[in-house]
């Protein structure tokens, strides 16, 4: 079998056009505002933040960039977040992670007002996600669900295996798959015999940050494979899934680049519109 490609770039472009049309109906002074805080000079973070800023400009969201030096103190970041919490022009606040060593990201996230928490990382939103409430959902998992929905496959009753247990991807995507009635297994670095667990999966979500970790021999024939990895290997991007061997077994697969990545950014835009009340 040769898998069909889930074209995240195309799907994201379509959603982006819909959001752009929605914003165009909003007067300039009432348009949504997204504040992005970047501390330090991590090159990957600088690229992601640049992409977010560009997307905001393209669809008509006001973007407020706050670049702090890597030497910024915890108190400086907390003070900035508190200021953004009180700024009526700012509807969403994103603090790019990871923060430089020595800074406490949990405390920073806890300072963001839950109704401006565009990443859905605050405990209030994470709690609502798990209890079935009206949560702001983290962007990457929301993008993954849109990619799964694009296949038209009914997820109900499927075995889903999530590899990785981060607060950004692994845990929230597990909650979303559970809400769609999948039987969800979360694997991580201490999981015993991980390949045999992954082999049971109808849906595999790989979010571990290890290039080409999931190989074709771990994929059940016909499975849907979602690759969240963005790893730089010798100047090139590699996913967490070895694409060539996995696509021989899967029914659907996301490429890297052009799969999950573009969806994350467009879902950030969507969450910003939701927080600004432009989207219900």
Distance CA 172, CA 191 (A): 19
- Taking Cα atoms as reference points, which of 60, 57, 55 lies closest to residue 28? 60
Span interacting with ligand GUN, options 91-99, 123-131, 172-180, 244-252, rule CB under 6 A: 91-99
**Binding characters for ligand GUN, 153-192, by CB under 6 A (x = yes):** ---------------x------------------------
- Active-site annotation holds for 41: no
Name the residue with tokens 């021999």: 217
Q: Which of 63, 96, 212, 251 binds ligand GUN (CB under 6 A)?
A: 96
Q: What is the token pair recorded at 29? A: 């002074």
96 is catalytic: yes
Is residue 119 involved in binding ligand GUN (CB under 6 A)?
yes
- Dihedral-angle region of residue 157 (phi above 0 means left; psi in -120 to 50 means alpha; beta otherwise): left
Structure tokens at 151: 């296949």
Asked if 140 interacts with ligand GUN (CB under 6 A), we say yes
Q: Is 275 one of the binding residues for ligand GUN (CB under 6 A)?
A: no
Q: Exactly one of 16, 116, 117, 119 is catalytic; which is it?
A: 119
**Whose structure tokens read 């030497």?**
71
* Closest C-alpha among 74, 114, 79 to residue 93: 114
Q: Smallest Cα–Cα separation from 184: which of 161, 202, 166?
A: 161
Q: Is 54 a catalytic residue?
A: no
Q: 34 vs 224, which CB is nearer to ligand GUN?
A: 34
Provide the binding-site residues for ligand GUN, judged by CB under 6 A: 94-97, 119, 139-140, 168, 264
Active site residues: 52, 96, 119
């Amino acid at each position: 079998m040769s898998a069909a490609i889930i074209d995240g770039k195309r799907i994201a472009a379509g959603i982006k056009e819909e959001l752009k049309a929605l914003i165009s109906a909003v007067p300039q002074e009432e348009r949504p505002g997204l504040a992005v805080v970047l501390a330090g000079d991590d090159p990957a973070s600088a690229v992601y933040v640049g992409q977010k800023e560009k997307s905001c400009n393209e669809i008509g969201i006001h973007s407020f960039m706050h670049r702090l030096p890597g030497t910024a103190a915890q108190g400086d970041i907390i003070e900035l977040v508190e200021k953004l919490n009180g700024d009526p022009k700012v509807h969403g606040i994103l603090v790019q992670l990871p923060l430089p060593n020595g800074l406490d990201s949990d405390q920073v996230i806890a300072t963001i007002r839950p109704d401006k928490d565009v990443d859905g990382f605050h405990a209030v939103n994470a709690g609502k996600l798990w209890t079935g409430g009206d949560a702001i959902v983290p962007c990457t998992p929301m993008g993954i669900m849109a990619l799964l929905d694009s296949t038209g496959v009914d997820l109900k009753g499927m075995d889903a295996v999530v590899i990785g247990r981060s607060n950004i991807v692994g845990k929230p995507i597990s909650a979303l798959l559970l809400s769609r009635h999948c039987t969800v297994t979360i694997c991580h670095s201490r999981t015993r015999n991980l390949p045999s667990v992954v082999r049971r999966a109808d849906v595999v979500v790989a979010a571990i940050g290890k290039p080409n970790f999931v190989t074709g021999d771990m994929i059940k024939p016909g499975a849907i494979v979602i690759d969240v990895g963005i790893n730089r290997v010798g100047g090139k991007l590699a996913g967490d899934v070895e694409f060539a061997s996995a696509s021989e077994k899967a029914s659907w697969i996301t490429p890297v680049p052009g799969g999950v990545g573009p969806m994350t950014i467009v879902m950030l835009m969507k969450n910003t519109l939701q927080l600004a009340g432009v989207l219900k």
